[in-house]
Structure 1
């Protein structure tokens, strides 16, 4: 009997691998692949552009927010400076008794809001007038830079100290001082205001958003106060933080962008500026994803 070899009688019996290779040769398949690739590339580009636009908008919003904070803090420090100048003129006349001077100082403290005490030293650094009491506490402030500067002949119209601990109540403060001079121009003494770090930053609490950091620094980036409050870091230098390295190099004294938080360690959108005669630095930041707001939703849709 003759050997009969079965022959495939339909396309179904063609090996699958062969059919697959032949399918790839189809122009339609390559068109579909090309379209899919273009869509993927286009989607990636759009997502990148949308995110960049979202970051830029959030950065602009953060700068606007910082300007409002800056105006608040700047004005309060200018009010303190103006008040001290007026008091210095009155005290320099020697026309007010110790009791009258005490009452003037106490009223000024109550009016300014963020000042804990105002004191006046003589030309040796000894406290001779105080808003705390009459007679004034028997304390010498000689050795404090904001007093010694004028006792040594300093001529600047003001001196703002880094954060220091008060010698009477052992509380943190920054001190703003100006000279008290007689009508002839001789140094009578120095008047200074002890500004409370917590009271400063608490003025911004009603308008700050949850999750935001608002931080005030001395000119060399030593921390004065932060919202939320963290007392144990007062006086700590954050000069090595990414945002402050940028600020130190900035000719405008103002920066904004995406940074790594020096304390929190997360990626944050932040802005920082110098203020009050460049003696202070104010910054604000929030978590990057929170700052972008609607972007995560758009990213999912894309």
Structure 2
């Protein structure tokens, strides 16, 4: 038991330790991945910003450049080719119309003066690089992220803006090359607007997650950071690493599914649990075998002690029986000689009659002692205990006397057992007499025959239980333990000699069975005879 408890404690400790290590490894890996992704996004933004500043400076020094100048457009295309993450480069004049565009000549003549990226630069000259919310292009109908810078006129006035239309699909396709299992890699515009996501979900582009972590509180408290969160989209528990860029209001978020990241630990835990279960099963089996061996040794020791004790008692009983028999023969001879001499004296004749009665009782006791000492052989044959009980029932009822009802019951089909018919019926009558003596105020004696159930059936043999139950005064535990001992009795002097239950036990033992007593003070008594079934007979 103590060893099993130690195994369980060690198992629990190892599961806790390995789980803690697994969490630390996952958090470290997520943190490293977020850092790498943040560096990649930062370089992308820096590359776009450098080109926007160059274009803005070039236009500031060439205010007279005509719209859609082919030479300038060629330079825009060269810049566009160096930035695969940018779909288009275009310039919006101070009035809100596109003046230069890499999509020319399909550029629509529409006003963009209402776009956020235009009004911000127009109203706030100090704004540098501006990254706008995802928008759908009015000319192409596709999503893009605007990165823009203000064009300063020579006099410092607003001269328009230069815009790079970055495609979210670029980030999504790039992120797809990184295996994150059931997790996600996302790019957000602070304070929580989704710019790009892998795996891609177009309907979520531009959605706000400002109400969810890490934007709600964690990002302000720690940047970068790692936390175990539930996804605001599907409620799946994830380990999320996040980092806000220093050069732009952009947040990179990497979230890995708890199911995926703990799969190696669960495999490890399964191996540990199976191994521990096997070990504990072996321990339990070993303990069971050890205890069974001890029980068998104890039972064998008790049987040996009982056999030795009974053998000694038998020798003693035989010696006493022979001596008593010799004395009683002398006394009986004397009574035979005296009887003709006192025929005319009634009192003397009466005394001799009482002596003869006492000698008869003594002879019966001597015969029982001799039978016990000789361990009389029994004649085993196949017989149905239920049938034998029904045959002896009238005699048993007569022996029980008035005021006591004797009822015989049985369960199941007729079953043959190996036993001595005459001695079995004598045992039943003796048990009925014992039950009668335990019920001075009357009651009911039940004789029940049924297939055995419960304990002591692990050997695979079939047994039949014959039980004699009374509702009498019962017996204490001390009396119950000694009830099968020879010469032990709780009856008054002259009412019994204590050989009945001992002979009952010996008879059942010779039949290959066992006898048990179940009793308690005021609870009545049940004497159960468990007899082996005769498998060679289908019925009697």
Whether TM-score is above 0.5 comes out as yes
* CA apart distance, 1:256: 0.9
Tell me the equivalent position of 2:73.
102
- Taking a change above 3 Å as real, the CA distance of residues 52 and 121 of structure 1, as seen in their structure-2 partners, is same
Match of 1:262 in 2: 232
Deviation at 1:183, TM superposition (A): 4.2
CA distance in 2 between counterparts of 1:242 and 1:127 reads: 39
TM-score, length-scaled by structure 1:
0.82
| 1:285–1:210 distance in 2 versus 1, CA, 3 Å | same
Q: CA deviation at 1:281?
A: 1.2
Q: Note the alpha carbon deviations across 1:132-186, whole angstroms, 9 max, x for none.
A: 1158531211111111112123312111111122221121111111011234433
Per-residue CA deviations over 1:62-82 (Å, capped at 9, x if unaligned) read 111121112212111110011
Higher normalized contact order (CA 8 Å, seq sep 6+, divided by chain length): 1
User: Would you say the 8 A contact 1:289–1:296 is kept in 2?
Assistant: no
Larger deviation, residues 92-101 vs 76-85: 92-101
Contact 1:201 1:216 in 2 (8 A): no
Number of matched pairs: 269
1:224 to 167, 173, 195: 195
Alpha-carbon RMSD across the aligned residues, in angstroms, is 2.0
Decide whether aligned partners of structure 1 residues 41 and 230 sit closer, same or farther in structure 2, where only a CA change above 3 A counts: same
Larger Rg: 2
- Range with bigger deviation, 159-168 or 128-137: 128-137
Map 1:153-168 → 2, pairs under 5 A:
153-168=124-139
State the Cα deviation string for residues 31-50 of structure 1 (Å, max 9, x = none): x3x44334323322321122
Which whole-Å CA distance do the structure 2 matches of 1:165 and 1:291 have between them?
36
Moved more, 74-83 or 130-139: 130-139
Aligned partners of 2:163, 2:235: CA distance in 1, in Å?
A: 37
Aligned to 1:61: 29
- Give the Cα–Cα distance (whole angstroms) in 1 for the partners of residues 218 and 101 of structure 2: 38
Secondary structure at the aligned position of 2:216 is classed as helix
C-alpha contact 1:214 1:283 (8 A) present in aligned 2: yes
Residue number in structure 2 paired with 1:111? 82
SS at match of 1:168: coil
Show the counterpart of 1:283: 253
The normalised TM-score by structure 2 is 0.47
Change (3 A) 1:135 1:90: farther
Give the gaps of 5 or more residues in structure 1: 1-31
Secondary structure class of the residue paired with 2:225 = strand
Matches within 5 A, 1:1-12: none
Match of 2:91 in 1: 120
In structure 2, list runs of 5 or more residues that go unmatched: 273-540
Return the alpha-carbon distance in structure 1 between the equivalents of residues 59 and 106 of structure 2. 16
DSSP 3-state at the match of 1:155: coil
**1:246 Cα offset (Å):** 4.4
Match of 1:238 among 203, 209, 216: 209
Q: Post-superposition shift, 1:207?
A: 3.0
Q: Bigger CA drift: 265-274 or 289-298?
A: 289-298
Cα shift at 1:194: 1.1
Is residue 186–residue 254 contact of structure 2 (8 Å, CA) maintained in 1?
Answer: yes
Is the Cα contact below 8 Å between 1:106 and 1:132 reproduced in 2? no
- Residues 189 and 195, structure 2, Cα contact 8 Å, conserved in 1: yes
Of residues 76-85 and 266-275 in structure 1, the stretch that sits farther from structure 2 once superposed is 266-275
Structure 2 counterpart SS, 1:191: strand
Change (3 A) 1:47 1:153: closer
Question: Which range moves more in the overlay, 256-265 or 110-119?
Answer: 256-265
Work out whether residues 219 and 225 of structure 2, in 8 Å CA contact, stay in contact via their aligned partners in 1: no
Aligned residue for 2:146? 175
1:213 aligns with 2:184: yes
